[in-house]
Structure 1
């Protein structure tokens, strides 16, 4: 099993000339190292056929393989058993049909590459997300894989205008668990698989290519972005800020990100980033509750920015490495008492050496567009599409001896969200943010949907080979 030279020599003969294969010393560092694979080999494919041949070889040799593009998801199950990582970053080609406004992208494309490509054509895509995987007080991250986030839903700044990422998916190419490549998979080609892939995509194969919808830019592509920081806020100030967030009416061209984060000199702060796709005067009217001077923000930075500049300055928040065993949920309300309890738990954890970068995130998007899609159109249910807030607990640290404390923190905060900010009888969780033990019913919206998903899984992956990110057992 550990004979790298043997596997290398055999596999290399089956792949195209420019495909690169490296051993343990060349592995790609992931965003979260707490559950990162330590593969015997990492393959950098040069074509879709290289991906298919690598999977075939792994199955023949009894090796477990795992696919990654940006490498930002923390949810890698059974990571110690993964022998081969297929790093898709070499498949990052992008083509744009301006006439049909359709974008075709390789499975290794990252957010920054996609945004730059469509902005150059004066277009935009339905997911330039406040990504679900990152600590990002000031916005999005360029280095996250597009398909990794899209296939599990795909929310972001443009959700109010264009809906979820999966709602803008036109077709995919997919390598299944036997190594067979299927091209142009869509609702016509396979209605059941198309239903399942849109929300649970990583459980059915490796998506080597996708086509998605694009849209003409509005307001010359400029949007208003305002970050306000409230350093060391009092209890009453936290309550007032959360009330302002909760009472703001969300129009389709708005999105909001709040975070508990330690800013300069480790001072606990509440950071609010409000976004509006339109002119400044309309933005200020839409966000007037949060812009109220009585809230006494410590820092306020507002600017009109093009789409390809919104992410600048955020790379430090997206750095690879360290341990980030995060956990998220969907909630109905911002209960002030609950979030004050969370504030205390979070600030206490940040006092641990090296844990000052830990954060709590609150995201809010308009949901009318996402709810306009039929409930049975995708595995992503209406009960999740209409959730008021998405929230994530991000413990961030380097010392693995903090793992137990980090897991306890995330679980405690999850319990508060479930019991005090939603319906404890029906917890809801965004798939990409779920913990390892989150019941599938909480991710996919109930027993019937899970049973349907399992039946489709049994057809496409009867041995549950693709169980590293979303472990969906067959029935």
Structure 2
């Protein structure tokens, strides 16, 4: 009966859409990065234009259906996913137009990082993007947008110039910016997915430095002792970050051996000599990594090392927080928790992720400029607990594991009175104050939400009380 109804809906809707729009039944739903919160829609539709998106939303509202847009599909915490009837896969809206004279880029709502990076690199430009090729540009950007260029150019939302957005009634609003609608502009820069479907955006671009070449290194510590873990974390914590630096660190059991390991990936936008000086603490030979490889790479190759960890499928209900320090006893306990959960069948790929980006540039933006507050802009470390498994019977255990790790971070590595998190990796029940700051700030955000989406059609990060 469900297939019959799906066919009826698709038949009615297709007459409203362009000839290039496509449909797929629920058996062909686009695989998400985290299937534990993936919708089970009646059907998936692939719009080919902004007008297609308008008509899909209008049709769903007429029929009492809940729709949800995805581009890369990596948001691991999709609220109200069980009530979503129609998935709007935006991937066909992936056009990228680079204007070299104005140093701006216009991109479609389905564009992924790799597509925009390739387009701007061909023009010897660069943009603020995330560190995973297959993540949707706007999915990352609208919730803050951190990445290797955060130190140089600030957050993704600070490089956003305008957007086109389809609201909960199916109306397309073009060219939304600080002048056309200051309230909405404030809100979408940090909570954008809660206000509609962004079908197009214009962002800033910048000339490449150092001919687009940067230094990156992979350091691996296999089966590290507690003492070694402490030394590595202390070296990271003691490193002074400048604008051309970033660091990715993970606790994980890596193939082919499956040995528990620490993997460090420091990055520096400059020469090898400059990089080695900037990262001298973690490059200290006394740390004795089991593996070390440093290379100079062009911008369009930087993310390739993360492709495997960004692969779709499986259950990955990650939970992220922002912390101030790498408290060694706390991380040793987290290390043990990760190894214990990883003993479950199929859960060996579980990981703890630590990201560090320079934040001085992001903090130069006025605290009133966006919903993303200074308290969160200044987070020293973005950390994520990422259980990885396939068997749904592990869902509850994964939840317990993530909560234990989260609580350790909040109580021992940050300010327990003011926990902070990055919205894109927040847990389902994370207080809005953790993402957006003070109660007054949250209230302002909810007031704008009531104006633009009074029925709370777009759940996303916000649920109206």
* Structure-1-length-normalised TM-score: 0.96
- Aligned partner of 1:249 in structure 2 is 240
Matches within 5 A, 1:57-456: 57-127=59-129, 129-130=130-131, 141-263=132-254, 264-456=256-448
User: Does the 8 A contact of 1:103 with 1:212 survive in 2?
Assistant: yes
User: Does the 8 A contact of 1:153 with 1:164 survive in 2?
Assistant: yes
The SS at the match of 2:334 is helix
Q: Distance in 1 between matches of 2:388 and 2:438?
A: 32
Alpha-carbon deviations, 1:169-191, whole Å to 9, x = none? Answer: 00000000000000000000000
Q: Distance in 2 between matches of 1:152 and 1:108?
A: 16
What are the ranges of 5 or more consecutive residues in structure 2 without an aligned counterpart? none
Q: Structure 1 residue 297: deviation in Å?
A: 0.2
Q: Distance in 2 between matches of 1:256 and 1:314?
A: 13
User: Does the 8 A contact of 1:23 with 1:41 survive in 2?
Assistant: yes
Q: Structure 1 residue 80: deviation in Å?
A: 1.4
Q: Structure 1 residue 77: deviation in Å?
A: 1.5
Q: Structure 1 residue 315: deviation in Å?
A: 2.4
Q: Structure 1 residue 27: deviation in Å?
A: 1.1
- Aligned partner of 1:138 in structure 2 is none
Q: Structure 1 residue 25: deviation in Å?
A: 2.0
What are the ranges of 5 or more consecutive residues in structure 1 without an aligned counterpart? 131-140
* Runs of 4+ with deviation above 4 angstroms: none
The SS at the match of 1:384 is helix
Q: How many residues in Structure 1 have an aligned counterpart in Structure 2?
A: 462
Q: Distance in 1 between matches of 2:16 and 2:281?
A: 61
CA RMSD in angstroms comes to: 0.9
User: Does the 8 A contact of 1:457 with 1:472 survive in 2?
Assistant: no
Q: Structure 1 residue 157: deviation in Å?
A: 0.2
Q: Distance in 2 between matches of 1:58 and 1:231?
A: 52
Q: Distance in 2 between matches of 1:249 and 1:316?
A: 30
Q: Is 2:84 aligned against 1:48? A: no
Q: Distance in 1 between matches of 2:449 and 2:80?
A: 19
Q: Structure 1 residue 23: deviation in Å?
A: 1.1
User: Does the 8 A contact of 1:329 with 1:414 survive in 2?
Assistant: yes
User: Does the 8 A contact of 1:260 with 1:361 survive in 2?
Assistant: yes
The SS at the match of 1:201 is helix
Q: Structure 1 residue 313: deviation in Å?
A: 4.3
Q: Distance in 2 between matches of 1:39 and 1:345?
A: 35
User: Does the 8 A contact of 1:150 with 1:165 survive in 2?
Assistant: yes
Q: Structure 1 residue 414: deviation in Å?
A: 0.2
The SS at the match of 1:259 is strand
Q: Structure 1 residue 472: deviation in Å?
A: 3.2
* Structure-2-length-normalised TM-score: 0.98
Q: Distance in 2 between matches of 1:165 and 1:368?
A: 14
Q: Distance in 2 between matches of 1:142 and 1:432?
A: 16
Alpha-carbon deviations, 1:186-222, whole Å to 9, x = none? Answer: 0000000000000000000000000000000000000
Q: Distance in 2 between matches of 1:212 and 1:149?
A: 13
The SS at the match of 2:303 is coil
- Aligned partner of 1:134 in structure 2 is none
The SS at the match of 1:291 is coil
